[in-house]
Structure 1
Amino acid sequence: MTKKYRSQAYAAIHETMAALHDIGAIDKQTMRAFDERCLTPIQAMPPERIRALRERECLSQPIFALYLNVSRNLISDWERGVKKPGGPALRLLTVVEKKGIQAIA
C-alpha cells in the first residue's frame, strides 16, 4: 500500500529524508519523527461515524464486512462501541470515508 502524505511538499521532503536514512545520514528516531509529521494522521473513529459511513455507502453489515475483510460480528461490535477498529481496518475505514467504497472494491 502506498503512503498517503499531507501534501506533495511533504511527500518530497519525506522521500529526501528516507534517502538520507538509507545511507545512514539520519537515524531511525529522526525518520520516525518525519513519518509522524509527513504522513496523513489516522484518528480513532467513533461508533456513530462507522455506522453513518456504512449507511452512506448503502451497505448492510455483512456486505460492509466483506469489503473490509472482517466478520459481520466485528462490524456490529464497532457500531455498538464494544470494540474499536485499529491498524489496517482503521486505515481502510478512513479511505472509504474520504473516497467511497469503490476505492477498496
Structure 2
Amino acid sequence: MKKKTKQYRSPVMASIHETAEGLHAAGLMSKLTMRKFDEMWLTPIPRLKARQIRDLRLREGASQAVFARYLNVTTGIISQWERGEKQPRGTSLKLLALVARNGLDAVA
C-alpha cells in the first residue's frame, strides 16, 4: 500500500508537524493531543450567507443547474441556499470553500 504524502503550507509548518509526530511516536504526546494538534492544521471553513453563495456562482459564470452538477447536489438545494432557506453543511460547505478559493475547476 502506498503511503499518503502530506502537504503543508510552508516548510516551517512541515517541520513543526513532523516534530509533533516524532513526540507522539516516542510516547511523549498522547493520541488525543496529536489528534487535537492535527485539527489545528485544518483550514477553517467559514459559513456562507445566501448572497455569498449566489455571488460565488455568478462569479464562476454558472447557472444553478451547472453549479449543482459540480457540487453533486440538486438545483433545488442551490436555490434554497441562495434564498437562505437552507444552509450548506459538511461536504457541500467544504466544496463551496474550495470553489471560493480556487474556482469551479477545483471541483471539476
How far, CA to CA, are the matches of 1:78 and 1:26 in structure 2? 42
Of residues 79, 83, 86, the one that matches 1:83 is 86
Of residues 30, 36, 39, the one that matches 2:39 is 36
1:100 is matched with which residue?
103
2:51 is matched with which residue?
48
Per-residue CA deviation, residues 54-77 of structure 1 (Å, 9 max, x unaligned), is 000111111100000011111111
1:14 is matched with which residue?
17
- Provide structure 1 residue ranges, at least 5 long, that are not aligned to the other structure: none
How far, CA to CA, are the matches of 1:4 and 1:39 in structure 2? 11
How far, CA to CA, are the matches of 1:4 and 1:41 in structure 2? 16
Give the alignment's TM-score, normalised by structure 1: 0.80
Report the 3-state secondary structure (helix = DSSP H, G, I; strand = E; otherwise coil) of the residue aligned with 2:34.
Answer: helix
Per-residue CA deviation, residues 9-57 of structure 1 (Å, 9 max, x unaligned), is 3344234434544665422431233233222111111111000000001
Report the 3-state secondary structure (helix = DSSP H, G, I; strand = E; otherwise coil) of the residue aligned with 2:46.
Answer: coil
Counterpart code for 2:91: P
Kept after mapping to 2: 8 A contact 1:4/1:40: no
Identical aligned pairs, as a percentage?
50
The alignment of Structure 1 onto Structure 2 pairs a total of residues equal to 103
Counterpart code for 1:53: L
Instruction: Flag the 1:63–1:17 CA change in 2: closer, same or farther, 3 A.
Output: same
How far, CA to CA, are the matches of 2:7 and 2:89 in structure 1? 17
